[in-house]
A and B are shown apart, each in its own frame.
Chain A
Amino acid sequence: MTNEHAASGHEPKQRHRTEGPQKHIVAFVLSLALTVIAFAAVSAGEINTTFTYIILVGMAILQVFVQMAFWMHLKDRGHLFPIIAILGGVFVVFLLVIMAVYWLWW
Chain B
Amino acid sequence: MSAHEQAEGYLPHEPEKATLEGRNKILGFWIFLGAETVLFGTLFSAFIALRHNVMDGPTPAHLFELPMVFAATMILLTSSLTSVFAVQAMHRHKVGQMIGWLIVTVVLGLGFLGLEITEFNNYANEGHRFSTSAFSSSFYTLVGFHGGHVAFGVLWISLLIAQIFKKGLTTVTAPKIYVSAIYWHFIDVVWVFIFTVVYLMGKVG
The residues of A with any CB-CB pair to B shorter than 8 Å are 2, 5-6, 9-12, 15-16, 18-19, 21, 24-25, 27-28, 31-32, 35, 38-39, 41-43, 49, 52-53, 56-57, 59-60, 63-64, 67-68, 70-73, 81-82, 85-86, 88-90, 92-93, 96-97, 99-101, 103-104
Contacts and interface: CB of A to CB of B under 8 A. Distances in A.
A85 B85 contact: no
A74 to B, nearest CB: 9
A100 B27 contact: no
B182 A72 contact: yes
Given A28-B81, A39-B70, A89 B188 contact: no
B140 interface: no
A12 to B, nearest CB: 7
Most interface-central of B26, B81, B85, B197 (chain A CB within 10 A): B81
User: Is the interface on chain B under 10, 10 to 19, 20 to 34, or 35 or more residues?
Assistant: 35 or more
Given A39-B200, A42-B204, A97 B192 contact: no
A12 B185 CA distance: 30
Contact of B6 (A6, A31, A96): A6
B44 interface: yes
Nearest to B85: A21
Closest 10 A/B residue pairs (Cβ): A89-B37, A93-B41, A100-B45, A82-B30, A89-B34, A85-B34, A96-B45, A100-B49, A60-B196, A11-B10
Contact of B30 (A6, A21, A81, A96): A81
B73 interface: yes
Interface of B: 1, 6, 9-10, 12-14, 17-18, 26-27, 30-31, 33-38, 40-42, 44-46, 48-49, 52, 66, 70, 73-74, 77-78, 80-81, 84-85, 88, 91-92, 182, 185-186, 188-189, 192-193, 195-197, 200-201, 203-205
Contacts of A100: 44-46, 48-49
Contacts of B45: 93, 96-97, 99-100
Contacts of A85: 30-31, 33-34
Given A56-B201, A71-B84, A93 B34 contact: no
A2 B12 contact: yes
B54 to A, nearest CB: 14
A34 to B, nearest CB: 9
A52 B91 CA distance: 41
Contact of B203 (A24, A42, A63): A42
A56 B45 CA distance: 17
Given A2-B18, A21-B85, A68-B189, A28 B77 contact: yes
A39 B31 contact: no
B17 A52 contact: no
